[in-house]
Amino acid sequence: MSGARFIAGDWGTTHLRLFLCDGEGTVLDHRNGPGAAESAGRFATVFASLASGWESEHGPLPAVLCGMVGSSFGWAQAPYVPCPAQPQQIIAACTTIEGRIHIVPGLSCQNRFGAPDVLRGEETQLLGILGRVQRRQWVCLPGTHTKWVVVEAGQVRDFFTAPTGELFAVLREHSVLARPPQGGDAAVEAEAFNLGVASVVAQPEVQILHRLFECRSRTLSGELPAAAAAAYLSGLLIASDVYGARRALSSTFVPDTVVLVGAPQLTQLYASACAALGLQSDQVDGATASLAGLTAIYHRLS
């Protein structure tokens, strides 16, 4: 193996993904490990155990790490950078340990609802896509805590968070509304998701709390297979998320497209909801965006 220049890492709460990269960010090898929650108090040991083989061959390598590794319970705290934030401000605020391991900070803002808001990890994905977004852009990063971000003039202007994925998981696992399907039919689930989206599109003014019980009542009435209730719930939540974000953000400006950054299966669901609500979208793989951002940071710090 030749050409190794640095180690890129996404160290989230539950998972660690390390990548051995060449100078252009091409992945030469990768390792998986425990997340930040499990690694508490032993980050250096975990990192060394995974990277030791690479460093035995290539010598000590610089590393750029993002995610919860920089949180209050991480390896070293990388304080939030307040918005609006320029890329160079984010990169300059990296916390460096052992002289070669750089931990990327998160972002903070006072969101447009007058509340404090934070993100950590997504800032690296934003750095990875800034070169391809328009001068004024909405960026949506779907996930457990979906982030809606306004990018303007090459900087992160502000953002807000919707715990859409977390709410879906809690209701699916701990309520009678939509129990996890047992070997569900993909076509039936897709139809149920689209039905949930269509319900929001037909009456967008109805609050999501007034719709959630439909997941139960539609199965009891026979309108919806019980195994598809979770997909219907997903359609309701994602369409409500998109509708609410469009309403909140449109007072600033309305872009030609919304950039969706995340896992392809999830961004496809958001793209479907966006289309139903009259928004065009462009999908970007979240892992690709994160690696591009980590590579950009490496180049600026090397």
pLDDT digits (tens, 9 = 90+) for 186-198: 899 999 999 999 9
Question: What is the crossing angle of helices 286-301 and 122-129, to 10°?
Answer: 80
Looking at residues 88-116, what average pLDDT do you find? 97
Residue 277, helix vs strand vs coil: coil
Provide the token pair at 226.
């019980």
Contacts of 262 (CB under 8 A, 6+ apart): 141, 142, 143, 270, 285, 286
Cα dihedral 121→126→127→130 (10° resolution): 180
Please report the pLDDT score of residue 2 as a whole number. Answer: 59
Instruction: Report the range of poorest mean pLDDT among 5-19, 93-107, 170-184, 212-226.
Output: 170-184
- Which residue shows structure tokens 């219907």? 232
Cα–Cα distance for residue pair 167/164, rounded to 1 Å: 5
Domains in the chain, CATH or no CATH each? 6-132+290-301 (3.30.420.300), 162-285 (3.30.420.310)
Please report the pLDDT score of residue 131 as a whole number. Answer: 81
Looking at residues 41-69, what average pLDDT do you find? 96
Residue type, 24: E
- Closest listed residue to residue 179, CA positions, set 137, 230, 235: 230
Looking at residues 56-61, what average pLDDT do you find? 94
Q: Is residue 256's pLDDT more than 70?
A: yes
Widest distance between CA atoms in the chain: 66
pLDDT confidence band for 183 (50 / 70 / 90) = low
Residue pLDDT, tens place only, 202-215: 999 999 999 999 99
Please report the pLDDT score of residue 133 as a whole number. Answer: 82
Q: How big is the CA angle at 47 (ends 33 and 261), to the nearest 5 degrees?
A: 55
